[in-house]
Structure 1
Amino acid sequence: METQELHRGRLIDHIQLVVHNLAASRRFYEAVFDALKIPIAGTGADYFWADEVFISSIDSEAAAGKLTGRHHLAFQAADKAMVEAFHVAGLEAGGKDNGGPGERPYHPGYFAAFLIDPDGNNIEAVYHGDAKRSTPSVKITF
């Protein structure tokens, strides 16, 4: 019997973005992921991925010839400095400003920055403040 611990409590397992220009997207996402300390986990001729984000070109098998629409993705940051680094890195890698680093009214301690990626997606880095966080999990036995 194998015991595997699965994370529970997260709504999203992974997401795919299909982009016009894979090279421009890779330049942008490598820069913002580096600022967030998220390594690129895999690459191919028509895709790359990091953590739960899979990005592919329109001619990739996974894309089925269709671009995805405009999305808003928010990535968690460990602190305010990481949000600021995300914003700088994204601008330097071809992103467009959509709201510089700062407090937002969503809840106390919400500190975020927003960028528009090369395909028009609204990409955010957010630090939720120093509130204690819990990571629920459940053990599954097979």
Structure 2
Amino acid sequence: MPRFPAMFDHTGIVVSDLARARTFYDAIGKPLGLVTADNGEQAFVFGKSKAEPIPYLWVGTLRPSYWAEGSRTGVNQMHVAFVATSKDAVHAFHAAGGTDHGAPGPREGAEGYYGAFLLDPDGNNIEAAFRDNLPYLRRS
């Protein structure tokens, strides 16, 4: 089975409470096969593994150098969709915690697309997405 190419190298979000964010991402990572890893005292990364470090999501309390003037935590809501390997994984992701922002189910306008949305502790829109019409997205 061909390997799915990464959709991004990395992205990042700023959070107000690192411990609360870590608890959330640890919980949703398990059904998606993703893990958190320390990245200094004020950040962690969320991704596949040390052996496959890219793509990743950087999560921290530091103010990024690229932020536009006036930006602050929760004002510039971010959306990140993670690949889920099955509908069951989408349901497990949704049950892991966070604030419901869209129950598991098919999504209109995208054939074979099944997803669920949660808001993380700072209001960022986090999604698990399964595409049954694209078998190369499934992990073997």
**TM-score bin (small chain):** 0.7 to 0.9
Structure 1 residues 42-81: aligned runs within 5 Å: 42-51=38-47, 52-57=56-61, 60=62, 63-64=64-65, 67=72, 69-81=76-88
Residues 88 and 131 of structure 1: CA distance in aligned 2, closer, same or farther (over 3 Å): same
**Higher-RCO chain (CA-CA 8 Å, sequence separation at least 6):** 1
Which of 17, 25, 32 pairs up with 1:29? 25
> Which stretch shifts more, 103-112 or 113-122?
103-112
Q: Determine which of 11, 18, 22 is the counterpart of 1:15.
A: 11
Asked if 2 retains the 8 angstrom alpha-carbon contact of 1:19 and 1:67, the reply is no
Query: For residues 9 and 30 of structure 2, what CA distance do their matches in structure 1 show?
Result: 21
Q: Using structure 1 for the length normalisation, give the TM-score.
A: 0.75
* 1:48 partner SS: strand
2:90 aligned residue:
83
Q: Which amino acid aligns with 2:81?
A: A
Instruction: Read off the aligned partner of 1:63 and give its amino acid letter.
Output: P
* One of 99, 123, 127 as aligned partner of 1:124: 127
Q: Percent identity?
A: 37
Q: 1:8 to 1:96 in 2, by over 3 A?
A: closer
Q: Does 1:107 align with 2:134?
A: no
SS state at 2:36 partner: coil
Larger Cα-atom Rg: 1
Gaps of 5+ in 2: 48-55
Give me the CA root mean square deviation: 2.3
Tell which deviates more after alignment, 68-77 or 79-88: 68-77
